[in-house]
Amino acid sequence: MSGTCLIDAARASDRDALVDLLTRQLAEHDLPADQVGVARAVDGILADERRGFLLVARAADEAVGVAYVARHWSLEHGGPSCWLEELYVLPDRRCGGVGVALLRASLDRARELGCLVMDLEVTADHARAEHLYAREGFRELGRRRWARPV
């Protein structure tokens, strides 16, 4: 619980709200915000918990934030690990503890699942997020992330 927000596991009934929040997240970072692709990803996550988990922050029965944590097996970390792929809070709900609550709940759930480490990335222009993660014990790895279609 954060202020008037409750953090809990996302349910199938949250699907549309999750798709909306995650599409907004991508658009805010000038990433392709394909709602159909986001919906397909959300459906896949909700269908198989081995892929990861979604947490939702609710205020008065409205979804105001979301976290998506992908699960994987890491050679670098020596076993089960996870990646905080998305953490998003509606702009008018920011700076009220919702992001911290989502992050801490994500770490708790990852620990329950046996994950050893949580990795994440932050865009270079997102200093506020960097400060949040540093305060919560994350350290910069000094790498650059690359990707390409396969």
The whole-number mean pLDDT for each consecutive block of 10 residues of the chain, a chain of 150 residues, reads 80 97 93 92 96 96 96 94 96 92 98 96 88 94 85
Strand-strand pairing, 52-59 and 118-120: unpaired
Sheet containing strand 118-120, strands side by side: 5-9, 52-59, 62-74, 79-89, 118-120
**What is the structure's pLDDT at 9?**
97
pTM for this prediction: 0.92
**What is the structure's pLDDT at 3?**
54
**What is the structure's pLDDT at 4?**
75
Q: By three-state DSSP, how is residue 74 classified?
A: strand
Contacts of 124 (CB under 8 A, 6+ apart): none
**What is the structure's pLDDT at 1?**
47
Write down the architecture of domain 5-135 according to CATH. Answer: 3-Layer(aba) Sandwich (3.40)
Q: For residue 83, which phi and psi values (nearest 5 degrees)?
A: -130, 120
User: What are the structural domain ranges in the chain?
Assistant: 5-135
Partners of 72 in the β-ladder: 81
